Each structure stands twice: as C-alpha cells, then as structure tokens.
A and B are shown apart, each in its own frame.
Chain A
Amino acid sequence: MLAEIGLKNIVKEFGKFVAVKGISLDIQDGEFLILVGPSGCGKTTTLNMISGLETPTSGEIIIDNRIVNDIEPGERGLGMVFQDLALFPHMTVYENIAFGLRVRKMREQEIEEKIRLAADAMHILPLLSKRPAQCSGGEAQRVALARTIVNNPSVFLMDEPLSSLDAKLRVDMRTELKGLHERLKATFVYVTHDQAEAMTMADRIVVMNGGLIEQVGGPLDIYDHPSSHFVAGFFGAPTMNFLNGEIVVENGTAIFRCPHIGQPLGTSAAEQLIGENVILGVRSEHIIMKEGSQEGQVRLVEPLGDSSLVFFEYGGKDKLVAKVAPELRFSPGDHVTFEFQADKCHLFSRKDGHRIN
C-alpha cells in the first residue's frame, strides 16, 4: 500500500475558534515529514485530522488515493504515538503491545510471535511482563513505538513523543527514530514545537503559524532561506538578529540603514527596494567580529565549547549576538568592531513579514 497523504484546503473550526485555516499539503510515500510551530499553531489538530480523531470542518484528506474524511481512525492503516505515550497503565507491556492485534482477533500464537519480533527490534524483551509505570521514560518510549510497529502501519503519526524525556535521552531518541524510519521505510508525520528536533530528523519540514503553513522545505532550505520573518526567528539557536531599518542609496550602492548601523547589501535585487521599510535578519554565525566597520561593546559571553556566543551592544536598543570561534576571547566591556556577511543578510517586509530579497 502506498502511503501518500494529501490535504486539500483543510479547515478546522472549534466553535468560533479556527484552529486550521485552510491548508494544502502533499506528503510523499516514505517521507519523514515534520510539522513544526509554536503551541496553538494548528499542528496537532492537523495531525489529528490525518489520524481521523478530528474531522475537518471542510476540505479533503486523501490517503492512498482514497478520501478518508468519513473513515474511522482504525481503518486508515495508521499508527500513532502520543505525547503522553498513552500506554494503558492497567496492562503489562506485553498486553499493551498485543492490544491492536487482539482487536483484529489474531491467533494467540501469531500475536506472541509478532510481539517477540517488535520487542526485540525495540530492545524491550526484558520488559514484557512489567507495567508501564515500572518502565523508565526511555523504556516507555520504546514500548509505545513497539505497540505501534507491531500493527505494521504504513503511516506513523507522532505527536511530540519525545517531549517527556530529559535532554540527553531526547537527543539519543532522535537518532533512533531516524534509524527506525530508514528501516521501516514507512511514512512518518511528526509534530513538534522543537525546531532542533525538526531540523535533525526531517526530510521535509512544514512550518505552521496561526493555523496556516508558513513554509515547506528541507531543513537547510528553511534555515538558509526562511520565507518569512516568523520562520527566520523560529529556526536556529540563538535566535536570528533582527534590525528595523530602511534601504537607502549611498555612494551608488544600496545600503541597509538604521540608527548606528549602515550595512551594505551585496545583492543587486536590493536596488529595487530602495526607500522600503524592512527588517534585516542575520544569524549569529554570520556576524564577523574582527576588523568590521561597525563598533560595539561586549556585554556578555557564553562559551559553548565549540564556539562562543558574544552578546554586544551597538548603540541601538537591542543587543546583537554573534557566534565566534572559541579561540577568539572576549570579555564583557571589550570594545569590538563587527560586520555582517552581506550575502547572508535576510530582508523581510515590515508590513507582512515576507522575505523580499
């Protein structure tokens, strides 16, 4: 079975509140697609509509060339891992994994075989007779995955499944999930609010905001060419630096000008934008902290080991942050000169936040 999913003009209203305001999306067979956005952006609602737990107010959901709007969740060929994992506390791990097979009235012998296989794959064989409450966070995670895998779905839906894990385990599980996707070759649709999770695992990322899709693209695509002010600010840590200003012409070249900063713009396209009010965005790693034309004073340094974050003032009301090589030592109070890499500057319209360069 092909596990292609299509969303066509999906709208979901809860009373007066519109959670999803008309989105269209095609998900390829075997793809690892991640829906990412801040809380309340409609990503979980979208996932629930794919699963069938919510019915769209209007629009069509198509799985494997079949409109599934009126088809029960259990008959869509999906598996789902929930944020709280939803392991049944009154059943053993074995019974939890067996649940879906029991529903399908499979023979006991076959059930046992399948459970052994799934448990072996997820390394939870010793846990089978335990209760979910006796499992650690990571173990419970594997049990939830095994319970989904054993039903052999062609689409895996995951709703922030890693959010209850501690930071280190979360990073380990990312790798494991990616490996699982490679192995199963199933379609994964994954919801998270964590941009790092999205960046590391996804084949394609769908950025949602306010019930709409802001951008769809590969992780680096989105990182390098954010289509809006929102996407630019959402991806990357530390957050991209933003400056409000205007494009002017000085000495025949287009320059971004705001109080205390005049930044030449390398692109020729900038010339068409002269006189416009814009937001300039530049990532911390694209600020050069040596021999620049602008002046500033260091306020705070955060060494990360492989790099250091330098927060400095330039005269404007906000601080800027630069990511520099660890060999460059700065201390608070140091006077520095800096410059933005002209070809790495992003320009967004101040009216609607769209990218304009």
Chain B
Amino acid sequence: MEGGASISRTEAAQRAQKDASRKRRSWTVIRHAVLIGWASLIMFPIYWMIQTSFKDSGEWVTWPPNWIPEDPTLKNYEQIFSFNVQESGVARQATEQPFNIWGALLDSIIICTSSALIALFMGTFLAYAISRYNVGGKRFRHSVLLIRMIPPIVIAIPLLMYYAIMVPLATDAVLGVRLSLFDTRLGLSLLYITITLPFVIWMMLSFIDEIPYSFEYAARIMGAGRIYTIRKVVLPLVASGMVVTFLFVFILNWAEFLLALTLTHPDVTTLPVLLNKFQSASEGRLYGPQAAIGTIITIPVVIMGILIQKHLIKGFSFGTIRK
C-alpha cells in the first residue's frame, strides 16, 4: 500500500516535471516565432531594396512580384556610376537632372563625418558641464530635446532665407565680400551640427551621469587638474558611449533628406538627394537605380557598425562602469 502510494507520487512528480518542460518548450517556440516574425518585418525592406537593385526595369513593379530577380543584372549600378566628368562634368542619362555619384558620396562623407564629429565633441563637453555643474539649471537637461519638437520642414524655408539672402548681405556689409551658406558643405554641416547637438547632449548625459563623482574627486586630490581628469578619467570611461553616439548622429545626418534638398543645389548634393533625382517625367520613378543607390548608402553604415561592434554592445547596454 505504502509502496504503491510512493510510486504514484513519483509518477505525479514526473508528470508535473514533464508538463513544466513542455510548457517551457512551447513558450520558447512562441517567443522565437514572434522574434523571427518581427525580424523579417524589419529586414524585409532591406531585402527588397537589395534585390530590386539587381532587377531590370521590366521587373521593378511586376504583379505578382518576383521575390528574386529573374535575370539578375548590374544595369542599375552601371547606370548610376556611368558618367563622364571630362565631357560634361555631370552625367545626364537616366534622369532629367544632372548627377554625379562620386561627388555626392564625397559630399555626404565630408558633411556627415565632420558634423557628427564636431557635434560629438561639443555635445560631450556640454553634457559634462550639465552633468557636473548643472549648467542651464535643473530642468535644462530635460528641455534639451525640445528643439526637436519643431518639424524640419517648418524651419527649412526660413533657413533658406538666412542662408541664401541674409548671410550674404551681412557678410557683404561687414566684410565687403558676399559669402553664402546656401549650397555649401559648410552651410549644411553647420545645420547638421545644430540639429544633432541635442541628441548628443542627451545621450552623452546618460553616459557621463553614470561615472561616480568620486573618480573625479580622487583624481583631483591626487593633484590632477580638470582637463587632465577629463582626458584621463572621464573620456576613456565614456569612449564606448561616444562611439555609439557618433554612429547614431552620423546615421541621422547620412539619411537626412529634407534640409539637404532645400538648402543645396546644384553644387552640393548628398546621397539621399541624389537618390531622389532618379525619376523622370517620361519613365516615372526609376526604382532600380534608386535601390542601387540605397544599397550603396547602406554599405558604409554597415561597415562602420561591424568595425565598432565591441563598443556598440557596451554602449547600447548603457553600462560603461558596470563591473
């Protein structure tokens, strides 16, 4: 009798264990299914862009769609890279507007890199001042992002006014030379620095706030000055955060379209603006070349991501000091 009871007890325990492990397994399956579904939703546009870039014009908008290019071609890439600078300075083939992809690539790289670096440098020190000295008062850190509440389109036209008319008039009056910010790398960079600075401050604040005051106190008591302390203690500790912030701001600039479209033409062209040029009255949107440019725009960001992977993981976990 007793033995029978104990056997049934162990059976019950085993059954309960089995149930539990089955439950756990089904939960794992559901979780992975959701994650895979979500990941495909996110990845699909990238896949679509890349495969479209290898399709010929007839295949761009077929119905039902071709999930893989039937007859893969490099035509789109040829089209966007084929021009002869010697001949006309710009190519004028598929589109009705002149374009120069190497020029656009160079413009984008110079403008985005320099403005992201400058914003990062300024923002880091501003964030340090806000974190350690409460610059701007207690609420300032929360209102830093307010500037982003204004949609860029609202300021695009007034800025055009400044860039194309007011600045030249002002420099003419003061220096006797007409200097314009319109359609210059400097003009666009200044603007990018201004609009990304709040992000840099906001992100760097969270990294700098994490560093205990005692680190800086210890350095000061050992005789280190403020700048020495920042250089040797604070900056190395937020390096990962700076890398992440740089990448974040760089991507914002890299993909910025509206302000670049409004404030440049024809000398300076960034890649997103160039992409938009691939449409014509006769053929409509040229999806193939656009996808090809899109793919090219994506590559540097991916490469950068791979190069700084170590910092990304560290930085995104917002744990610079964690032991």
Contact = CB atoms under 8 A, between A and B. Distances in A.
Interface string A247-263: 00000000000000000
A84 B214 contact: yes
A77 to B, nearest CB: 10
Interface string A47-70: 000011100000000000000000
Contact of B223 (A74, A86, A90, A147): A74
Contacts of B222: 74, 79, 99-100, 103, 147, 151
Interface in A123-147: 132-133, 147
Contacts of B166: none
B224 A83 contact: no
B212 A73 contact: no
Contacts of B321: 89
Contacts of B323: 89, 132-133
B221 interface: yes
A82 B220 contact: no
Contacts of A147: 222
Interface in A79-127: 79-80, 82-84, 86, 88-90, 99-100, 103-104
Contacts of A73: 217, 220-221
A53 B219 contact: no
B218 A86 contact: yes
A103 B232 CA distance: 10
A314 to B, nearest CB: 48
Contact of B218 (A82, A89, A90, A104): A82
A75 interface: yes
Interface in B222-243: 222-225, 228, 232-233, 236-237
Summarize B's interface: helix, strand, loop or mixed: helix
A83 B237 CA distance: 20
Contact of A90 (B220, B228, B236): B236
Given A86-B215, A90-B237, A133-B323, A80 B224 contact: no
B217 A103 contact: no
Interface string B203-223: 000000000101101111111
Interface residues of A, number: 25
Contacts of A52: 220-221
B237 A80 contact: no
B220 A53 contact: yes
Contacts of B233: 88
A83 B214 CA distance: 9
A234 B145 CA distance: 49
Nearest to A100: B222
Residue with the highest number of chain A CB atoms closer than 10 Å, among B219, B223, B228: B223
Contacts of A100: 222-223
A83 B222 CA distance: 16
A89 B221 contact: no
A173 B98 CA distance: 77
Contacts of B225: 74
B217 A99 contact: no
A104 B321 CA distance: 27
Contact of A80 (B217, B228, B232, B236): B217
Given A103-B228, A133-B323, A86 B220 contact: no
Given A103-B228, A133-B323, A88 B220 contact: no
A49 to B, nearest CB: 13
B221 A51 contact: yes
Q: Which 5 A-B pairs have the closest CB atoms?
A: A74-B223, A100-B222, A86-B214, A86-B218, A133-B323
Interface of A: 51-53, 72-75, 78-80, 82-84, 86, 88-90, 99-100, 103-104, 132-133, 147, 151
11 contacts: A51-B221, A73-B221, A75-B223, A84-B214, A88-B237, A90-B237, A103-B222, A103-B228, A104-B223, A133-B323, A151-B222
Interface of B: 212, 214-215, 217-225, 228, 232-233, 236-237, 321, 323
